[in-house]
Structure 1
Amino acid sequence: MLCVVAFVVVLVLSAVSAKYRRLLGRAWGCVWRRVTFRPCDTTFREDVKSSMLAPLATRAPRLVRPASVAIEVVAWIMVLSFVVSLFILGRSGLNLFVYGTCDKQDGQSCSLAAEMCSIDAGPPGFWESVGAGDVIGAFGNEFASLGETIGAVPSRLREWDAAEFASDDATYVGGYVEGRPVALEIIDPGCRFCAQLFRNMREAGFDGTHNVTYLVYPITSDDGPRFANSPLVASYLTAIRLFEARTDGQPEGVTADWFILEKLFSEQNDDGLDWQLWMNNATAAEARAQLEVWLREAGYDQPEISQLAALAASDEAAAALARTREVVEDDIRTVAIPSLISGGRLRAGLVDVDTLRGID
Structure 2
Amino acid sequence: MLCVAAFVVLLVLGAVSAKYRALLRRAWGCVSRRVTFRPCDTSFREDVKNSLLAPLALRSPRLVRPASIAIEVTAWAMVLSLVVSGYVVARSGLNLVAYGTCNKENPQACSLSATQGCSIDSQTPTFAASLLDGDVVGAFRNEFSSLADTITAVPGRFRTWDGAQYATSHASYLGGYRDGLPTALEVIDPGCQFCAQLFTNIEESGFAEANNLTYIVYPITLSFVPKFANSPLVAQYLTAIQLLESADGAPADDPTDWFILEQVFTGSREDGTGWQVWLNEQASPEQAEAQLQAWLAEAGYDQDAISEVDALADSARVEEAIAQGRAVVEDEIRTLTVPTLIANGDLHLGVVETTDLEAMR
Q: Pick the TM interval, shorter chain.
A: over 0.9
Partner of 2:205: 204
Partner of 2:56: 56
Give the TM-score, by structure 1 length.
Answer: 0.93
Counterpart-to-counterpart distance in 1, 2:120 and 2:327: 14
Q: Deviations over 1:250-294 (max 9, x none)?
A: 3224x2111111111112211111211111131110000000111
Query: Are the counterparts in 1 of residues 107 and 121 from structure 2 also a CA contact under 8 Å?
Result: no
Q: Deviations over 1:186-217 (max 9, x none)?
A: 01111122112212222333223322110001
SS of match in other structure, 2:246: helix
Partner of 2:34: 34
Amino acid at match of 1:41: D
SS of match in other structure, 2:252: coil
Query: Are the counterparts in 2 of residues 183 and 340 from structure 1 also a CA contact under 8 Å?
Result: yes
Partner of 2:116: 115
Query: Residue 70 and residue 354 in structure 1: after superposition, are their counterparts in 2 closer, same or farther (change >3 A)?
Result: farther
Partner of 1:134: 135
Partner of 1:161: 162
Counterpart-to-counterpart distance in 1, 2:248 and 2:40: 80
Q: Deviations over 1:319-360 (max 9, x none)?
A: 211221221122212222111111212222333334333336
Counterpart-to-counterpart distance in 2, 1:196 and 1:247: 33
Counterpart-to-counterpart distance in 2, 1:230 and 1:63: 67
Question: Is structure 2 residue 301 aligned with structure 1 residue 300?
Answer: yes
SS of match in other structure, 2:154: helix
Partner of 1:279: 279
Counterpart-to-counterpart distance in 2, 1:12 and 1:182: 54
Query: Residue 354 and residue 69 in structure 1: after superposition, are their counterparts in 2 closer, same or farther (change >3 A)?
Result: farther
Provide structure 2 residue ranges, at least 5 long, that are not aligned to the other structure.
Answer: none
Query: Are the counterparts in 1 of residues 177 and 212 from structure 2 also a CA contact under 8 Å?
Result: yes
Q: Percent identity?
A: 59
Counterpart-to-counterpart distance in 2, 1:353 and 1:78: 49
Query: Are the counterparts in 1 of residues 164 and 183 from structure 2 also a CA contact under 8 Å?
Result: yes
Query: Are the counterparts in 2 of residues 108 and 115 from structure 1 also a CA contact under 8 Å?
Result: no
Query: Residue 14 and residue 216 in structure 1: after superposition, are their counterparts in 2 closer, same or farther (change >3 A)?
Result: same
Query: Are the counterparts in 2 of residues 201 and 353 from structure 1 also a CA contact under 8 Å?
Result: yes
Counterpart-to-counterpart distance in 2, 1:102 and 1:329: 18
Q: For this pair of structures, how many residues does the alignment match?
A: 359
Counterpart-to-counterpart distance in 2, 1:67 and 1:222: 49
Counterpart-to-counterpart distance in 2, 1:20 and 1:333: 49
SS of match in other structure, 1:184: strand
Which deviates the most, 327-336 or 255-264? 327-336
- Give the alignment of 1:339-354 within 5 angstroms: 339-354=340-355
Amino acid at match of 2:346: R
Query: Are the counterparts in 2 of residues 172 and 213 from structure 1 also a CA contact under 8 Å?
Result: yes
SS of match in other structure, 1:86: helix
Counterpart-to-counterpart distance in 2, 1:42 and 1:130: 37
Counterpart-to-counterpart distance in 2, 1:29 and 1:247: 74
Query: Are the counterparts in 2 of residues 107 and 116 from structure 1 also a CA contact under 8 Å?
Result: no
RMSD, matched Cα: 1.9
